[in-house]
Chains A and B, each alone.
Chain A
Amino acid sequence: MSVRVFIVDDHELFRSGVRAELSVGLEIVGDAGTVDEAIGAILATEPDVVVLDVHMPGGGGRRVIEAVHAERPRIRFLALSVSDAAEDVIDVIRAGARGYVTKSISPAELDLAVRRVNDGDAVFSPRLAGFVLDAFGRAAPEPLDPELDLLSAREREVLRYIARGYAYKEVAHELGISIKTVETHVSAVLRKLQLSSRYELSRWAADRRLI
């Protein structure tokens, strides 16, 4: 059964480009250029995966995810963006996206990323891995909740390889573990990112600006 995909981006040229690239191996069930249009059409078409832009007028990708998840929590989201501001990216992940890739991604990699998100795995681009290492890197003097706020040594190691440009398969090879285990680690990081204290992350964002 092919994966049913919906595309949300306020740039029409980009939307049709992604549509053409993904329609080679996936089923595109619709696209939308505004937040409100997207929410209605996604609820109506019930795709498996929504590929969406982080930045959009009217609340951005975050509002689409929140509105859809309130009604259909099983629909999965992959953020696709040119945005480089770490706070925006972390924000859309915390809203519930299962991955973040930049718009410079190749068609084949984007196809793989959509499939991975559809399988319930997390998709970390090197840039997202870098943002997360930066966010959790500085050990808090007194972590509010050590279970959620800190990455394990293994998770950190996996993220480092991803930031260095290694694909999941290569990370698995380097660490002598299975790809499935790499995916498990990355999903755990995603969960921690979504559940970690807002306090910790906002302090990190403030620190970044100060440096």
Chain B
Amino acid sequence: MVTVGGLALLAGPWFWRVATELMDERNGRIRSEARAEMAAHLHDSVLQTLALIQRSSEPKEMASLARTQERELRAWLYSRAPSVRGVTLRDAIDEMAGRVERGNLVRVEAIVVGDLDVDDEGLRALVAACSEATLNAAKHSGVDEVSVYVEVEDGQVSAFVRDEGAGFDPGSVPHDRRGIADSIVRRMELHGGTAEIRSEAGRGSEVVLRLARPKK
């Protein structure tokens, strides 16, 4: 017993030192891996975009490149852990906003309050209708900013797509826009939701989508 105790007393500090050294080495490795990962990411994203901006001669295109990069970098810096069950509504709306921005040289300010997984047809339809409405505003409003607001409440999900552009009279919609409006409305109704289009010539427009959800 005495020998065992003595050994433990002698070996204790040694074990402690080895354990500490191993921890230090491990932490150092994690830090350098994190640094390498960040360098790789910045190289692939920010540096590439800066190079593109320097080559670009169109102010609008420069702004679009910068906006896209800003959105991506933000998503990377403030990313939440990816949902294990698939895509969250917040990520789906952000992705949609980025896509419309890139394709149309507009700014899409997307704000999502609350969140849930996009795990059924109804929610997928809401995202698709929201995407149509945003694209529609980007293409036809004549202004360079579109506001998207999505709110998850207990029992309901709502989406609002608004622009302060040309607007139109929803009663006498030109044919090309009627198709889009119908596809938004029909898509929502098919899944038990609603779509309301509020607009006046010269006073912008807003598309309001609502989808009922089972209460928790």
A5-13, A45-53, A159-167, A192-200 - interface stretch: A159-167
Partner of A164 from the list B74, B77, B107, B149 (CB cut-off 8 Å) is B149
Q: With an 8 A cutoff between CB atoms, is A1 at the interface?
A: no
Residues in A whose Cβ lies below 8 Å from that of B164: 165
Q: With an 8 A cutoff between CB atoms, is A72 at the interface?
A: no
Q: With an 8 A cutoff between CB atoms, is B128 at the interface?
A: no
With A and B bound together, what is the CA distance between A112 and B163 in angstroms? 20
Closest residue of B by beta carbon distance from A208: B80
Residues in A whose Cβ lies below 8 Å from that of B111: 126-127, 129-130, 163
Q: With an 8 A cutoff between CB atoms, is A137 at the interface?
A: yes
The answer to whether B160 and A133 touch across the interface, beta carbons within 8 angstroms, is no
C-beta contact mask, B62-99 vs A, less than 8 Å → 1, else 0?
00000000100010011011000000100000000000
The answer to whether A84 and B78 touch across the interface, beta carbons within 8 angstroms, is yes
Q: With an 8 A cutoff between CB atoms, is A85 at the interface?
A: yes
Q: With an 8 A cutoff between CB atoms, is B109 at the interface?
A: yes
- Can you show 12 pairs from A to B with CB atoms below 8 A apart? A84-B74, A84-B78, A85-B78, A104-B107, A126-B109, A130-B112, A133-B113, A137-B153, A138-B114, A164-B160, A211-B88, A211-B115
Q: Given A85-B77, A137-B153, A211-B80, list of 19 further CB < 8 A pairs?
A: A84-B77, A84-B78, A126-B111, A130-B111, A130-B112, A130-B149, A133-B113, A137-B113, A160-B149, A163-B113, A164-B162, A164-B206, A165-B147, A165-B162, A165-B164, A166-B162, A209-B81, A211-B88, A211-B115
8 A-B pairs with least C-beta separation: A165-B147, A130-B111, A164-B149, A133-B113, A164-B160, A163-B149, A134-B113, A84-B74
